[in-house]
Amino acid sequence: MSSSAQSARVVIEALRAGVPNRAAIRLLGNVETAIEDQFTQALNAVGSPQPLGGMAIAGGFGTGKSHLLGYLREVALKRNFVVSWVTVSKETPLYHLGLVFAAAMRSAAVPDSFDDAITVLLSKVQGRAEAVQSLEQWASTPEAGVAPVFAALTHLLTRSMPAELMRGVEAFLSGAKPPTSETRRRLADLGARGMFDLSGVKAATLHLQRPRFMTQLVQAAGYAGWCVLIDEVELIGRYGPMQRAKAYFQLAYWLGLEPKLRDPGLYACCAVSDDFADVVINARQDDEKLPELLTQKNLLCMVELAGAAMRAIQGARPLRAPTDTDLARHAETLRGCYSTAYGWTAPAPSIAARRSNLTLRHHVRSWITEWDMLRLQGSSSGVEVSPVAPDYTENPDTTGVPPDGDAAN
């Protein structure tokens, strides 16, 4: 099989599975130009005195939300951003900042590099003496709002470090426990142990401080900022009331919906189902009941931000339905890709009538299935498509922190 055929088959198989990879995203491109323009404008404001708040996009199942986030990921990488993609799931519940951050670091991509993001960032910073000194000075100020362990580890970046300690630093910045003992020993070797108070810091405190430090590290390494993309936010509809309230709060934190708390080096965008506002927020009266619940639990600091997140979801930018022109262009593009993938000339596919319940994913998968039947059987009897509705039933299995959920802190 030629390399071009192999590459084309990777694209087709990804689209067949309904999970577009980077190659498929590049092939199909983006038709949501207004959303792309808003996203680009926000990226341009990162690092400025007036950064913009994050954006929420909404669409039905299969309308291309993940595809659009993937396209925006490519846009951000080209603009020299470090980009993380987080998919909300049972293992990554949105109400748990530590687990979301750890997932963000596992998925973090650095422009023009396939190496681990933290490894790349630390290496870049170590090669920029002025940058690492500025980072240490920032971390040492009360305004930074981070524990002394961050300044201590930054202090060590300009000195030689044992391999074990470097691994501990990388793990800590990715979400693990701080390498306190190894750090104390190395500081003592350098005659600097008394410079930093390394007494214990609560895991919940580190959850809040790691993202703040990460944006500073990203910019110190020479990148424009940190972009976080959050997919499948609608899964929080399956949480219990308190977990939903906390999830709304955390979403507002990532999106920077409170200007005073907004991190100037971070920009986030999330995707949610277009019926979530009606089926969950409005039908369950989350905007009325959850602030009361947070107040009863004396979590007053969460009330305003949780409400801001609900309003952001209610005002999310909707994805538009594909036009006849969009469908014809995609059909022709995929026909060429399929022909290359299998060394078989695919005919022009039949394009089903545009209906409100037929998404772009329905069309794409029906075209691929139709070509499969023609290629393998010599005939096609047509493809029936059935829409899939999201399930927002509250599920007790999603309301607790996963096993070892705090083990990394």
Domain boundaries, the chain: 1-23+321-387, 32-111+223-319, 119-212
Maximum Cα–Cα distance for the chain, whole Å? 79
**CATH of span 32-111+223-319:** 3.40.50
18: confidence class by pLDDT, cuts 50, 70, 90 = confident
* Residue 362 CB-half CA count within 13 A: 20
Please report, in angstroms and rounded to a whole number, the separation of the first and last CA atoms in the chain.
47
pLDDT at 407 over 80: no
Residue entry with tokens 């319940």? 357
Residue entry with tokens 């299998």? 342
Cα separations in angstroms, 324 against 62, 67, 141, 328, 361: 17, 19, 57, 6, 15
For residue 361, what pLDDT is reported?
Answer: 83
124: confidence class by pLDDT, cuts 50, 70, 90 = very high
For residue 199, what pLDDT is reported?
Answer: 86
Tell me the pLDDT of the chain averaged across its residues.
90
pLDDT at 237 over 90: yes
Q: What percent of the chain has pLDDT over 70?
A: 93
Residues 36-53: what's their mean pLDDT? Answer: 95
For residue 172, what pLDDT is reported?
Answer: 95
pLDDT at 218 over 70: yes
Q: How far apart are CA 301 and CA 223, in angstroms?
A: 32
List phi, psi (to 5°) of 230.
Answer: -115, 120
